Chains A and B, each alone.
Chain A
Amino acid sequence: MTEVVDTGIETVGGGRQRGSGPQGEQPPMVRSHSPWRMAWRRFAANRAALVSAGVLVLIMAACTVAALRPQSAPLPTEYKLEGAGNHPWQPSASHIFGTDPNGHDLLLRVLQGGAVSLQVGFAAAAIAVFIGTFYGAVSGLMGGRLDRWMMRLVDVLYGLPYIVLIILLLVFMDRNFVALFVAIGAFIWLTMARIVRGQVLKLREEDYVLSARAQGAGWFWILTRHMLPNLVGPIIVCATLTVPVAILQESFISYLGLGISAPMTSWGQLASEGVRAMNPAVTYWWLVLFPSLMLALTLLCLNFVGDGLRDAFDPRTMHKV
Chain B
Amino acid sequence: MSKFLINRLLWLVPTLLAIYTISFLMVHNAPGSPFSDERAISDETRQQYERIYRLDQPLHVQYVMTLADLVTLRGMPSMKYPDKNVVSDLLAPAFPRSFALGLTALTVAALVGVAVGSYSAVRRYSALDHLFTGVTLLGVSLPSFVIGGLLLMIFGFWTQLLPAYGWGSVDKLVLPVISLAAFPAAYIARLTRNSMVDVLPMDFVRVARAKGVPGSQTIVLHALRNAFLPVLSYLGPAAASIFTGSFVIETIFNINGVGHHFVQSALNRDYPLILACVMLFSTLLVVMNLLVDLGYAALDPRIRYD
CB distance from B260 to the nearest CB of A (A): 11
Q: A81 in the interface, Cβ–Cβ < 8 Å?
A: no
Q: B188 in the interface, Cβ–Cβ < 8 Å?
A: no
Contacts of B30 in A (CB 8 A): 168, 171-172
Binds A, one of B72-80, B167-175, B265-273: B265-273
A60 CA / B80 CA spacing, docked (Å): 44
Q: A296 in the interface, Cβ–Cβ < 8 Å?
A: yes
Q: A251 in the interface, Cβ–Cβ < 8 Å?
A: yes
Please report which residues of chain B, range 46-64, place their CB below 8 angstroms from some CB of chain A when the two chains form the complex: none
Interface size class of B (residues with CB under 8 A): 35 or more
Binds A, one of B90-98, B146-154, B204-212: B146-154
Cβ contacts A265-283/B at 8 Å (1 or 0 each): 0001001101100101001
**Given A275-B252, A283-B153, A160 and B278 touching (CB < 8 A)?**
yes
Interface of B is mostly: helix
Q: Which A-chain residue is minimally distant from B247 (CB atoms)?
A: A256
Contact A167 B263 (CB under 8 A): yes
A172 CA / B278 CA spacing, docked (Å): 18
Interface size class of A (residues with CB under 8 A): 35 or more
**Given A171-B269, A275-B146, A159 and B285 touching (CB < 8 A)?**
yes
- Give which listed residue, A156, A164, A268, A289, contacts B143 with CB less than 8 A: A268
Q: A292 in the interface, Cβ–Cβ < 8 Å?
A: yes
Contact A161 B262 (CB under 8 A): yes
Please report which residues of chain A, range 284-308, place their CB below 8 angstroms from some CB of chain B when the two chains form the complex: 285, 288-289, 292, 295-296, 299-300, 303-304
Cβ contacts A10-51/B at 8 Å (1 or 0 each): 000000000000000000000000000000000000000000
Contact B141 A296 (CB under 8 A): yes
Contact B164 A161 (CB under 8 A): no
**Given A167-B263, A283-B157, A161 and B149 touching (CB < 8 A)?**
no
Q: A181 in the interface, Cβ–Cβ < 8 Å?
A: no
- Give which listed residue, A168, A283, A292, contacts B142 with CB less than 8 A: A292
A268 CA / B278 CA spacing, docked (Å): 25
**Given A172-B30, A252-B248, A161 and B146 touching (CB < 8 A)?**
no
Q: A244 in the interface, Cβ–Cβ < 8 Å?
A: yes
Using CB atoms and an 8 Å cutoff, list the residues of chain B in contact with chain A.
15, 18-19, 22-23, 26-27, 30-32, 137-138, 140-143, 145-146, 148-150, 152-153, 156-158, 164, 237, 241, 244, 247-248, 252, 262-263, 265-267, 269, 274, 277-278, 281-282, 285-286
